[in-house]
Structure 1
């Protein structure tokens, strides 16, 4: 039986969102009758599907609305395990167990706590490469379809631009999951992920391209997207536009420490003027911050609802003491992003709505572009360059929209103190949107002000108590991620390594328990 590389997924679709022609779609594109069909294919299978599964615990099934790397929220310092609460509420599903290997930085990320079973590790890898292959096919074939008039040609240009945007986006994401953080001194030799630009299935083993090669490909794709999307009109923020490409370019250049380019593209986003910052002083508390009418939303794809497993219930996750401690009392994000639950005595995450609200936010939990990031990118890049006033102005422009008017004061710090203030502000503003893990990685190789920290995560076993009518802790095991730890980079999924014989894996040391607490 002929082997097909695990990087690819044979494109057999039966998705109602893609139109009837996809029911018989094959690799030879014979059922594509025009650019409109390719637009449907892009929306239905090029973008991450939007929606929210019932819970993290069901995401393993990847049926209708798959999660994409939900563990990104669990590996850093934004959440912590909850062991007790005042009302004795227990978790509805055990996310800690499902993502134990990620949460505690294990050598085998699919392993469970008891070391008795291992889950699939290649769901995200396979899904993202499937999306990349869709983008490849659209880029390769769309010019074969003629438009009737200038409007049609502009639509073709938009579709092609979106495909380039998605391909660049996905390669950037994969590089930051499976490759080391970009370090100019080593990027040319550090392995990242395979780059595939052809639209057809190739019967061969793939090797890993370097971090530099993957970044260069992402830049080339995003620059193409910026050019092609200029002057086009999109239907909603679920479709990429020129501003989305420019914001991601700003982020990418910031990760590369190309501060001039990071500032240039952040300025483009800010000066576009069509996604103004939301002033929290003007909100009345009747809606959650992340809502479909939020003016600063530039682009969103993938799932929302991360708060369904950040509930502070027993055997669930809650806002970490570190994250809660970053917000001053005069910071309105202490109402609209996180807030104190007086009844149950804990800080809860409410950025996208109330905990366990069945009406999950329509905005993504790990793939959301907002204008506020452009201000933060500009401030950070300017601070690295020593352009203090530019950095202060960008930072304070954002803070004025977040701090209570009557108590607002400008940040006047400089040097490393200013860099620390910007990094803290980034965590306050972008908390639990998928940024923190990637930010911690890139701070370790920053040439101006490198930073890495020790992070501890615990895993507690429970037993049911008939006296209290709920779960009580039995034993807590503590795991530690050390500064500059190799575990800041995920291993290549074992399914990929098993097929691609000879593909080198990332070094990731075994992770032992450093402390045990018995109750």
Structure 2
């Protein structure tokens, strides 16, 4: 492990794309190259560990929380909360552009080197497959933070993010188009599909990719691309590996816990404790719950005077990247988009039976069966809002759907994100732009 630690110095310093001719910020004192399966597994573990908490920051930009102006951490989050992206205070927390590329660099080591040095085995295939999946996931997050939402009509000309597939000191790292980046994501996804051989991962190492997690990622990718048939098919396949839902009628536990039966992949800390402690839930969020019959409300929120604090998030046992609830709601949404309303309603009702009292479920069964396509789709969006509160989905759901107007109030001032505001897409962080003039 000492040798691995030395080698990791090469990549822990690889923060983003520093310039067209300077990939690393610091020169390591020598290097030790991994040679064995154990060595390469240790490198990839570091890649998993490096996955950042960017989704917690996206929650500040959406409609889920009110920032507490008396919080000691206000200075770190204020400019994110007020969408002051053009000239943020230097102390403002930056979105982790560089950290996502750091993850990619770890994956690149496995993809480019492990195949040459390790003898063929199922473990080798699994390792390289995980690296492809992790790289796909990191690029997917990058493109959905720093580029416009996918639009098939404009993706070939919309600016995306740089693609780095190997360490090359001479490469100029220039943003590729959104279409090109998605093509790379889909390539890595297919490579992973050909190599992964673990159906699921056991508790304790379920931060790693498995076949179930890969199909969950695939369903999310296609959902964001509005490839409804492909998204529905991927969600259906993922459910063959795990279709279990936590029944809140009989087991009042947070369904996003890493060891809950719904867990598919528990990698990300999606709601950082600093953001959690510095905020309250918005009335817009708490108002979408039926507080009598929706069993999630008491699990997710705690009264604090006239306001509500989040109970979700801020704890290691709530790490979550994919869980079965997302698969049901993705499948229901895509089937509704395809106007397959009967199957969409059946899928949705299977899910909500585990989230509402019997009385609430009985009434919703009547209501849902009477819905047309537009009403059903809107209800599914609301269920996503309720189910995934403070789990890092909401900002991305807003980006890919309505891009509605949001108003945040702070220190006596109102700040507006208008509908279809360009600020639904983040600019590259200041530090990244300073280091790379191509951004």
TM-score for the superposition, normalised by structure 2: 0.87
User: Are the aligned partners of 2:59 and 2:65 in contact in 1 as well (CA < 8 Å)?
Assistant: yes
Match of 2:317, SS state, is: coil
**Superposed displacement of residue 326, structure 1:** 0.7
Match of 1:348, SS state, is: strand
Residue matched to 2:125: 157
Q: 1:307 to 1:389 in 2, by over 3 A?
A: farther
Unmatched 5+ residue regions in structure 1?
A: 14-23, 51-65, 84-89, 444-450, 461-475, 504-519
CA distance in 2 between partners of 1:486 and 1:337 (Å): 31
2:413 matches 1:477: yes
CA distance in 2 between partners of 1:81 and 1:259 (Å): 36
2:235 matches 1:255: no
**Superposed displacement of residue 434, structure 1:** 0.7
Residue matched to 2:403: 452
User: Are the aligned partners of 1:290 and 1:361 in contact in 2 as well (CA < 8 Å)?
Assistant: no
2:419 matches 1:497: no
**Structure 1 residues 38-76: Cα deviation after superposition (integer angstroms, max 9, x where no partner):** 0011002x11448xxxxxxxxxxxxxxx64353111000
2:187 matches 1:220: yes
Structure with max Cα Rg: 1
2:80 matches 1:102: yes
User: Are the aligned partners of 1:168 and 1:221 in contact in 2 as well (CA < 8 Å)?
Assistant: yes
**Superposed displacement of residue 378, structure 1:** 0.6
CA distance in 2 between partners of 1:139 and 1:424 (Å): 40
Residue matched to 2:346: 393
CA distance in 1 between partners of 2:24 and 2:93 (Å): 16
Q: Which of 208, 212, 224 pairs up with 1:239?
A: 208
Match of 1:185, SS state, is: coil
Q: 1:398 to 1:12 in 2, by over 3 A?
A: farther
For 1:427-438, list aligned pairs within 5 A. Answer: 427-438=385-396
Structure with greater helix share of residues = 2
CA distance in 1 between partners of 2:40 and 2:49 (Å): 16
CA distance in 2 between partners of 1:304 and 1:120 (Å): 16
Q: Which of 362, 368, 386 pairs up with 2:317?
A: 362
Residue matched to 1:81: 67
**Structure 1 residues 111-164: Cα deviation after superposition (integer angstroms, max 9, x where no partner):** 23xxxx45474x6111111110111111011122243xxxx7111011001100
Match of 1:99, SS state, is: helix
2:422 matches 1:486: yes
For the aligned residue pairs, the C-alpha RMSD in angstroms reads 2.4
Residue matched to 1:190: 158
CA distance in 2 between partners of 1:391 and 1:492 (Å): 38
Q: Which of 414, 417, 430 pairs up with 2:375?
A: 417
Residue matched to 1:309: 275
Unmatched 5+ residue regions in structure 2?
A: 1-15
Q: 1:478 to 1:258 in 2, by over 3 A?
A: same
CA distance in 2 between partners of 1:132 and 1:382 (Å): 33
Q: Which of 21, 41, 57 pairs up with 1:71?
A: 57
User: Are the aligned partners of 2:81 and 2:408 in contact in 1 as well (CA < 8 Å)?
Assistant: yes
**Structure 1 residues 291-323: Cα deviation after superposition (integer angstroms, max 9, x where no partner):** 343100111213365355334xxxx31001111
2:197 matches 1:230: yes
User: Are the aligned partners of 2:175 and 2:438 in contact in 1 as well (CA < 8 Å)?
Assistant: no
**Superposed displacement of residue 339, structure 1:** 4.0
User: Are the aligned partners of 2:271 and 2:392 in contact in 1 as well (CA < 8 Å)?
Assistant: no
CA distance in 2 between partners of 1:404 and 1:477 (Å): 41
2:347 matches 1:346: no
**Superposed displacement of residue 275, structure 1:** 5.1
CA distance in 2 between partners of 1:231 and 1:238 (Å): 13
CA distance in 2 between partners of 1:35 and 1:332 (Å): 46
Q: Could you tell which deviates more after superposition, 181-190 or 222-231?
A: 222-231
CA distance in 2 between partners of 1:138 and 1:124 (Å): 22
CA distance in 1 between partners of 2:284 and 2:104 (Å): 37
CA distance in 2 between partners of 1:231 and 1:348 (Å): 39
Residue matched to 2:45: 43
CA distance in 2 between partners of 1:304 and 1:70 (Å): 5
Residue-pair matches, total: 413
User: Are the aligned partners of 1:305 and 1:361 in contact in 2 as well (CA < 8 Å)?
Assistant: no
Match of 2:96, SS state, is: helix
CA distance in 2 between partners of 1:327 and 1:224 (Å): 41
CA distance in 2 between partners of 1:145 and 1:269 (Å): 32
**Superposed displacement of residue 289, structure 1:** 4.4
Residue matched to 1:138: 110
